[in-house]
Amino acid sequence: MAEATVQMRGIRKQFPSCLANDNVDFTAYRGEIHALLGENGAGKSTLMSILTGVLQPDAGEICINGKPVMIRTPKDALQHGIGMIYQHFKLVKPFSVAENIVLSDDHVKVINKKKLEARVKALSERYCIEIDPGALTWQLSIGEQQRVEILKVLYRNANILILDEPTAVLTAQEVQELFLTLRKMTDSGCTVIFITHKMNEVMDYADRITVLRDGCLVRTLTKAETDEKELAKLMVGREISMGRRNTTDTTTDRELLRVENLTVLNDKKLEAVRKLSFSLYAGEILGIAGVSGNGQKELMEALSGLRAAAGGTITFKEKNITKTTVRQRISDGLAFIPEDRYGFALVRELSVAENASIKSYRLPEFSKGGIVDYKKLNKQAEEFIDKFEIKVGGTKSLVQSMSGGNAQKLILARETASKPDVILASYPVRGLDIKATESIHKILVNEKNRGAGVLLVSEDFDEIFQLCDRVAVMYEGKFMGIVPISRVNLETIGLAMSGAARMDGEPNA
């Protein structure tokens, strides 16, 4: 039996608004990848924050390598070999890789750049983490920045690594590379704990799994003892459908959106979308897969009116809207769910009712002579909360107090209230747990069944196969074919995402 490196017994943590951890037991062993699985708000991050000294428990005990310890600060945690890599990286962008890694080392007074880079290079080679110690951090990809964060804790001699939602911002290839690195670390004797709500990653990479729900331990089990369906039930407390969610063929030949030879420039004035042409039909969900950064963002912003087209035309319900404003497109029946929900769709400092009315407060039923009827706006928000099962303290609650899933449901409630003909949805479930994802998917399928056309941008293969009628892969600003979902598989999508082959069998342009 492997040695238990982490033992947490009877951990309890009470906050004013909730009991985050209720008598939780957790054990992790040397040489294993241990997944801590649960919905948003299940208590996962709180439990690991206690292990790393960020929070103090109200009750319970912690043993490291069989010995009881008191962990009052993150510095105490590091002294016991515990290091945490957070979802939002804590790097100084103008600094080099090596400078970031040594930044928190109290023993370094004068930096010898050459010696420092040699030490970092030796550490990276020991754990097979490929990185250039002299590279500036701002020049690195997201996956490379994450490697720097891992090296930071390894440099401090951590052998118990905790990763908080480590794949939230990674591409599929970067996810594979990350877990190859983590496996090499466990092979050398480290313990890896990763917080997640993605069951496919749990089944692909974890040795053992601990499931939390509503602050309580549900069960700890090995991967061989379970499957995705059971894990979903343990997480949520009820059966969750893991199969295809779009089961009705409602696609018509009514063309709602036609894009012809569309060219869009990015912020650097380079072509992000290159002479792209496609159509979206009533009653269908057309998925756009691909690695982020291949023009998806610029395409959706051009279609919604947030970014000007540099060439080509956009036709919506037989009307040329290439140069029309955002407000005109909304009036015509176009809705947009942006990938940055707080940057573009919601105002954190405003209430639920105010955010719910951003598109409707000018309408005659909500205002007269420029005077807004707040009673009616509150009633509209209450209807959204009830219909979409949004968990919030009330219509006057600030959006910043909502969970990501409930915030996203508020966006969909607002965007679908006017029964739009086309819905542009960019990464609508990114960062959401399984129950919130199920709710958002149900809303999109209902809109499609109503007769709307949905253009869905996603990097999640499960989401593409569960929802889409047709799928395109975007690569370097172009589509690598558009085909019915029944004619594609993971291999064909993967090859198209890398630019190696088109999905429709046609030669590359």
Residues in the chain: 509
Q: In angstroms, rounded to a whole number, what is the distance separating the alpha carbons of residues 409 and 438?
A: 11
Q: In angstroms, rounded to a whole number, what is the distance separating the alpha carbons of residues 7 and 145?
A: 30
Same structural domain, 144 and 285: no
Structure tokens at 418: 């006017």
Q: What are phi and psi of 167, to 5 degrees?
A: -105, 10
Structure tokens at 247: 């089961």
Q: In angstroms, rounded to a whole number, what is the distance separating the alpha carbons of residues 335 and 305?
A: 11
User: Which residue in 332, 350, 157, 191 sits closest to 256, CA to CA?
Assistant: 332
Residue 163 lies in a domain: yes
Same structural domain, 232 and 299: no
Residue 242 lies in a domain: no
Helix (H, G, I), strand (E, B) or coil at 195: strand
pLDDT of residue 503: 86
- Among candidate residues 236, 263, 284, the one where a domain is terminated: 236
Q: What is the 3-state secondary structure (H, E, C) of 199-247?
A: HHHHHHHCCEEEEEECCEEEEEEEHHHCCHHHHHHHHHCCCCCCCCCCC
Q: Tell me the C-alpha to C-alpha distance, in Å, between residue 102 and each of 76, 91, 147, 356.
A: 18, 11, 14, 47
Residue 407 lies in a domain: no
Same structural domain, 274 and 216: no
Neighbours of 425 (CB within 10 A): 28
Q: In angstroms, rounded to a whole number, what is the distance separating the alpha carbons of residues 241 and 224?
A: 21
**Cβ proximity of 419 and 402 under 8 Å:** no
- Among candidate residues 201, 236, 271, the one where a domain is terminated: 236
pLDDT values of the chain reduced to their tens digit, one per residue, 509 residues: 579 999 999 999 998 767 899 999 999 999 999 999 987 778 898 999 999 999 999 999 999 999 999 999 999 999 999 999 887 778 888 988 988 888 866 665 566 788 888 988 988 888 878 888 889 988 887 778 888 888 888 888 889 999 988 886 666 677 888 898 899 999 999 999 999 877 888 999 999 999 999 899 999 999 999 988 888 888 877 766 666 788 889 999 999 999 999 999 998 899 999 999 999 999 999 999 987 778 999 999 999 999 999 999 999 999 999 999 999 999 999 999 998 888 888 998 999 999 998 888 878 777 777 787 888 888 999 999 998 888 888 898 888 888 777 888 899 999 999 999 999 999 888 777 777 888 889 999 999 999 999 999 998 888 899 999 999 999 999 999 999 999 988 788 878 887 878 888 777 66
CATH number at residue 211: 3.40.50.300
Neighbours of 351 (CB within 10 A): 20
Residue 507 lies in a domain: no
Q: In angstroms, rounded to a whole number, what is the distance separating the alpha carbons of residues 312 and 372?
A: 40
Same structural domain, 145 and 211: yes
Same structural domain, 76 and 125: yes
Q: Edge to edge, what strands does the sheet with 4-14 contain?
A: 19-29, 4-14, 59-64, 67-69
Helix (H, G, I), strand (E, B) or coil at 313: strand
Domain holding 458, by residue range, is 255-346+419-497
Residue 80 lies in a domain: yes
User: Which residue in 185, 160, 180 sits closest to 170, CA to CA?
Assistant: 180
DSSP annotation of 42 reads S
DSSP annotation of 342 reads I
Q: Cβ neighbours of residue 343 under 8 Å, at least 6 residues apart?
A: none
Same structural domain, 59 and 204: yes
Same structural domain, 177 and 274: no
Q: Terminal CA-to-CA distance of the chain, rounded, Å?
A: 56
Same structural domain, 114 and 160: yes
Work out how many domains the chain is built from and give that number: 2
Helices 228-236 and 434-450: crossing angle, nearest 10°? 100
Place of tokens 């080392």: 105
Q: In angstroms, rounded to a whole number, what is the distance separating the alpha carbons of residues 503 and 146?
A: 32
Residue 17 lies in a domain: yes
pLDDT of residue 107: 62
- Among candidate residues 178, 205, 236, the one where a domain is terminated: 236
Give strand ranges (E) for 118-215. Answer: 160-164, 191-196, 208-213
Q: Cβ neighbours of residue 54 under 8 Å, at least 6 residues apart?
A: 74
Same structural domain, 189 and 261: no
Same structural domain, 317 and 268: yes
Torsion-angle region of 246 (φ positive above 0: left; ψ -120 to 50: alpha; else: beta): beta
Q: In angstroms, rounded to a whole number, what is the distance separating the alpha carbons of residues 195 and 133?
A: 28
Same structural domain, 203 and 321: no
Residue 373 lies in a domain: no
Residue 404 lies in a domain: no
Same structural domain, 135 and 202: yes
